[in-house]
Amino acid sequence: MNPMRPRTYRVFRFLCLVTALANAGGNVALLLFHEPLYRFLGVPPPADRFAFAAVSGFSFSVGVLAFMIWRNPERSLNLLVYGAIAKGLYAFFTFYFGFQGALHPFQIGFGVWDAAYTVVFLLFALHLASPDLARLNTGEVLPGGSVPRTRRALLLYHSLSGNGARAMQRVKGGLVAGGYAVDEERVEPVETALFRFPFPSLWAFVRIALRAILRIPAPVKPLRTPPDHDHDLVVLECPTWFVGMSAPLESVFQDAASERIVKGRDVAVVNVCRGLWRRTQAMTVRWAELRGGRVVGVRACPNPGRDPMRTWSLFFFLAFGEPGRPRWLSPLLTDPHLSEESLDTLEAFGRALAQRPAVSTSAGRERRAS
Ligand SMILES: Cc1cc2nc3c(=O)[nH]c(=O)nc-3n(C[C@H](O)[C@H](O)[C@H](O)COP(=O)(O)O)c2cc1C
């Protein structure tokens, strides 16, 4: 294994080996020893021995597929997508028959395993398909483009509950410490009555959530920043809404007029979230690039704590409109805001952005050529 690979890559690859051994080895063991094992666990014997052998064979072949991915991940992007579909289908049918009461909890456990691996395979595919993001996520800040250095930065963001706004204030602090003048543009949805926090009603939250799941755009008010603005750097901040960009920020980029904000300029991307940032980051970066920006740095900031309590804490925070509620549960709830450590990292990011070198003309030519 190459020790120079980012840790995320090594973790994903290791997980592929784990499921390769579990699927391939586990199914051979099941075929050979299911009778004593099932008797010991109290699992009813297979009603249809042919179906049992066929499912075990299918699951074994997915283990072989995972082994092939482990051997050479870079050349296995299609296998990862195929593996995610296979595991997703297996999980779906397991849960379907599980809910019908046709399966023992031992068998439902296989469905949980495969559901988790559907996500792992998709995330690994995303990671491999975006080597540039893997590099940026090591914390590197790339040299800037040939845009004249005015030492002025524009922060563009939409923040519902204030978490992202706080993050941007710390990036701003770092930029100012590095000698930049900073302007801010907060993206404002047209439907101000709906997109505000605390949510006006639980129904408003459900509507925002459903619209986010269906990826329905949230029209935004025209930006105040003029087309000929003189900022050499634009910092975008976007929270995760249902495993993707928040609707208001995505709306900005769905409009081709957003070119005037980022085209030809250096762009930095900050994402805040409960815990899922990879897809949001990839979307924000690709939109910025599509509109002509040159992405020089990214920072992803999940909230502190561990799941599942972090997810529950977010849910309660969104429902009650303030952290620490309901009071009787507060000792278990995690903070739905970024930790001081994350905020410090963002301030350092601002300083690093202010100090980013300008790309030399020959390096710029090489980058364009590649
Ligand atoms: C409608 C909605 C959907 C969300 N979905 C996700 C999600 O899928 N994954 C995640 O990690 N966080 C999710 N979050 C949490 C936000 O990303 C997190 O609360 C973030 O701090 C919000 O930033 P803001 O306060 O600047 O708006 C969601 C929040 C909202 C309001």
Inform me whether the pLDDT recorded for 364 exceeds 60: no
Average pLDDT over residues 241-270: 95
Share of the chain above pLDDT 90, in %: 86
Provide mean pLDDT across the span 214-236: 94
Of ligand 1's listed atoms, the one at least distance from the Cα of 165 is: 26
pLDDT band at 177 (very low <50, low <70, confident <90, very high): very high
How sure is the predictor about 126, in pLDDT bands with cuts at 50, 70 and 90? confident
- Residue-wise pLDDT for 301-333, tens only, equals 999 999 999 999 999 999 999 999 999 999 999
CA atoms of 321 and 338, how far apart (whole Å)? 16
pLDDT at 2 over 70: no
Q: Which of 71-85, 111-125, 204-218, 255-269 has the lowest mean pLDDT?
A: 204-218
Asked if residue 215 lies in contact with residue 244, where contact means CB atoms within 8 angstroms, the answer is: yes
Please give the distance, rounded to the nearest whole angstrom, from the Cα atom of residue 274 to the centre of ligand 1.
6
**pLDDT number for residue 363:** 53
Residue 359: per-residue pLDDT: 78
Choice from 273, 279, 284 to test ligand 1 binding pocket (greatest atom count within 8 A of CB) = 273
366 band by pLDDT with thresholds 50, 70 and 90: low
pLDDT of residue 4: 53
Position 361 scores a pLDDT of 52
**What domains are there in the chain, each with its CATH number?**
7-129 (no CATH), 140-303+338-358 (3.40.50.360)
Percentage of the chain exceeding pLDDT 70: 96
Asked if 107 and 158 touch (Cβ cutoff 8 Å), the reply is no
Q: What letters, b where the CB count within 10 A reaches 16 and e where it falls short, cover 103-141? A: beeebbebbebbbebbebbbbbbbbbebeebbebbeeeb
CA nearest to 170, candidates 346, 328, 333, 358: 346
Mean per-residue pLDDT over the chain, rounded: 93
Q: Which residues contact 49 (CB under 8 A, 6 or more apart)?
A: none
The yes-or-no verdict on residue 217 having pLDDT over 60 is yes
Ligand 1 geometric centre to CA of 331 (Å): 22
From residue 135, alpha-carbon distances to 113, 199, 206 in Å are: 30, 38, 37
Dist CA 330 CA 204 (whole Å): 24
Res 78: pLDDT: 95
**b/e sequence 352-364, b meaning 16+ C-beta within 10 Å:** bbbebebbeeeeb
**What pLDDT is stored for residue 1 in this prediction?**
39
Peptide bond into 308 cis (omega under 30): yes
Quick one: average pLDDT of 173-184?
98
Q: Is the pLDDT of residue 151 over 70?
A: yes
The set of protein residues with a Cβ atom below 6 angstroms from ligand 1 is 159-165, 208-209, 212, 239-243, 272-276, 314, 318, 336
Q: Which of 368, 169, 191, 185 is nearest to 260 (CA)?
A: 185
Checking if the pLDDT of 262 tops 60, the result is: yes
What amino acid is encoded at 59 in this protein?
A: S
SS3 category, 152: strand
Give 205 Cα–ligand 1 centroid separation in angstroms. 12
Yes or no: say if 185 and 159 are a contact pair by the CB < 8 Å rule.
no
Distance 24 CA to ligand 1 centre (A): 38
Residue of higher predicted confidence among 359 and 353 = 353
Looking at per-residue pLDDT, the higher value among 335 and 7 belongs to 335
Of the pLDDT bands very low, low, confident and very high (cuts 50, 70, 90), residue 25 is very high
